[in-house]
A and B are shown apart, each in its own frame.
Chain A
Amino acid sequence: MPGLLGKKIGMTSIFSAEGKNVPCTVIEAGPCVVTQIKTKEKDGYNAVQIAFDDKREKNSTKPMVGHFKKANTAPKRKVAEFRGVFDHLKLGDILNVGEVLKNDRWIDVTGTTKGKGFQGVVKRHGFRGVGDSTHGQHNRLRAPGSLGASSYPSRVFKGMRMAGQMGGDRVKVINIAIVKLIPEKNILIVKGSVPGSNGSYLIINK
């Protein structure tokens, strides 16, 4: 079985059997439709493409409508590919969270983190800033300090941590525990947090 596509719903906390209060994320996982099966002969590699979350035909481009029609399904918002050979899957098959994750206890979740905009080094890289607002400092409390030596090497090394865009990255969280599945409602509850804001799309890998 390949993975699934899902949507982050929000976080909550649940008391476990031992009485511990466990922070959890609620994910709407699937149902996903198989929309394309890629083969080595035809596409150069083996993969299965799945799609999730209906949208109206009015809001879809004609090429996309045609693509989804081949799988006999309504247009979807999110499409993803899983590499590998999945012989038991046919075009138009529906994947449900209850079947796909039936025997799994741990999953990997990929998402896009919340965008933080252009941030300085203190927030972005955890620099400590200048600890003092006195002793001659007046405008460099959160400055990065030295970027390196002077005449040798006469340049700033690549990868030097500086201010810049923070967040909005694709991040994969590996080995998060499944707390519960509610297959009738396509709900997947995992322990801890996953990247992104509520309502953002997630790729669930096994």
Chain B
Amino acid sequence: MNDLMKAVAQEYAARQDFPKFGAGDTITVTYKIKEGTKERLQSFRGVVLQRKGGGINETFTIRKMSGNIGVERIIPIESPFIEKIEVNKYGKVRRARIFYLRKLTGKKARIKEKRF
């Protein structure tokens, strides 16, 4: 990245420190929702499919099964609406983007937990 782009990224960068997480990890994101003038919190727990982009444009994709239907959210990591991020489980996966998970259901959609 260009030096000046980095300077801009720095100017607007990281207001909070989230725990480290990547593809395969199960996390819970708590974010603010605006309804008219009121604000409330909602959490979304699921598996991280990928982290994408760099600097202030970085986003992550998180997927959960809501009943039978897969639901995915793409969230910018610099979004001011994120209240907090919790890592529930570190998963052991071999690739950085685990889109193959979308096609799997039931027992096949399990991810092994990482042992340290």
Contacts and interface: CB of A to CB of B under 8 A. Distances in A.
Contacts of B79: 15, 19, 21
B14 to A, nearest CB: 12
Interface stretch (B2-10, B19-27, B44-52): B2-10
Contact of A9 (B4, B57, B81): B4
Report whether over half of chain B's contact residues are helix, strand or loop; otherwise say mixed: helix
B99 interface: no
B11 A182 contact: yes
Nearest to B11: A182
A89 interface: no
B72 interface: no
Nearest to B56: A12
Interface residues of B, number: 17
Interface of A: 9-10, 12-15, 19, 21, 26, 28, 180, 182, 185, 187, 189
Interface of B: 2, 4-5, 7-9, 11-12, 34, 55-57, 76, 78-81
Given A15-B12, A15-B78, 11 more contacts: A10-B2, A12-B9, A19-B80, A21-B79, A26-B5, A28-B4, A180-B11, A185-B7, A187-B4, A187-B7, A187-B8
